[in-house]
Amino acid sequence: MVFESREEAGTLLADQLKKYGKDCVVLAIPRGGVVVGAQIARALSCPFEVVIIRKLGAPGNPELAIGATTSKGGVVLDQELIKRLEVTKGYIRSELSRQQKEARRREKVYLKGETINITDKTVILVDDGIATGATVETAIQAVKEKLPAKVVLAVPVAPPHTVERLKNEVDELVVLSTPEHFWAIGEFYEHFPQISDGEVVKILQNK
Q: Both 117 and 65 in a single domain?
A: no
**8 A C-beta contact, residue 156 and residue 188:** yes
- Give the model's pLDDT for residue 63: 83
**Of 22, 25, 21, 40, which Cα lies nearest the Cα of 147?**
25
Q: Both 116 and 137 in a single domain?
A: yes
Write the secondary structure of 154-179 as one string of H (helix), E (strand) and C (coil).
EEEECCHHHHHHHCCCCCEEEEEECC
Q: Both 33 and 69 in a single domain?
A: no
Low-confidence ranges of the chain (pLDDT < 70): none
- Give the model's pLDDT for residue 113: 73
**Beta bridge pairs of residue 56:** 67
35 in a structural domain: yes
Handedness of CA 133, 100, 105, 59 (dihedral sign): negative
pLDDT in tens, 111-162: 887 789 999 999 999 999 998 898 999 999 999 999 999 999 999 999 999 9
1 in a structural domain: no
pTM: 0.91
